Amino acid sequence: MKVLVAMSGGVDSSVAAAELRREGHEVVGVTMRLWGGESDTGCCSVSDVDDARRVAQQLRIDHLVFNFSDDFTAHVVDPYVDAHRAGSTPNPCIECNRHLKFDRLSQRARLLGFDAVATGHHARIERQPSGVWRVVRGADAAKDQSYVVHMLDQRELAYTLFPVGHLTKAQVRERASELGLRTATKPDSQDVCFISKTGGRETFLGHRIPFRSARVVDESGTELGTVDAVELVTVGQRRGLRLPGGAPKQFVLDVDVEQQTVVVGEESRLSRDELRVQRVMWSHEPLAVGSEVLVQSSAHGATQSALIEEVGATSVLLRWREAQRRVAPGQSVVLYDMSDRMVLAGGIAE
């Protein structure tokens, strides 16, 4: 099989390419140039491209570079800025997977005659006895990335490979060391590639949108203070609100960008019985109203049980079995089966 492997310059994608090579596939590595601005984090730096190229040389496979920077700006960076402008909390790495790694890259691979694309994600793809493809959790629970690849539909699932999903992270590094790969001890990328460590989110957004100050009020409307940039405040936040000391800890309950108001209260006031999820994509067919699912609302958060109360064309209303802390609008919400193993759907918290 002829496989195009997305090589980010990290150890996981390096070993993914090595595993496919070992299995006898015709492997070509590709690194996507996504962000052309300042970058000292994530997987978009010049050194990462160089690491990917050198690993490809070690594995004796061809290495390509695709420039998708315009697509990245249009589908990841601009929506990230727009989300903050509107007062929501986006997930740019998930949007990168959705639009670049499992859309734009797959399109290019098909045009070039590849039989499959592969990445180094810690997740697995399994075909059920019914013939339906599913994303399932990776073997390493601590590194599982099924949450961030939840958007794959049946067509993409049949075309995608996750060669390291059956390995733990320790096993991945061990195999990289055995092969003498230069990425064997390279630290994992944890940050958004276009947000630099030196400037941070505030500097990045400050160059692109005008910040507006906002009143900080309690639920009765009493003003407690102000924040300099309402666009940087997120639901559930506690730090950085500059509230007077001595009172119980206050958490952000709501952000109204238009009215330039941030509502705060005690943590218990974040509790919710329901969660509406928009832009829902089912990996196969929607579940029926009344079905029970497990719900994950952050990359490494624990799942919680919920019942499906409503199913719309692109939305789902969930009722928690036990009240849960409010999910910040804009965050990705992924539904799993009751074994907490198989991805059923995913969308964006309203």
Active-site positions?
A: 96, 193
Dist. CA 67–CA 34, nearest whole Å: 7
Dist. CA 7–CA 123, nearest whole Å: 16
Element (H, E) at 171: helix 169-178
Which of 186, 188, 242 lies closest to 214, judged by CA?
Answer: 242
Pairs from 102-110 (Cβ < 8 Å, separation ≥ 24): 102/149, 102/151, 102/152, 102/156, 102/160, 103/156, 104/68, 104/71, 105/4, 105/6, 105/30, 105/32, 105/66, 105/68, 106/156, 106/159, 106/160, 108/66, 109/4, 109/159, 110/159
- Tokens 């030196």 -> residue: 198
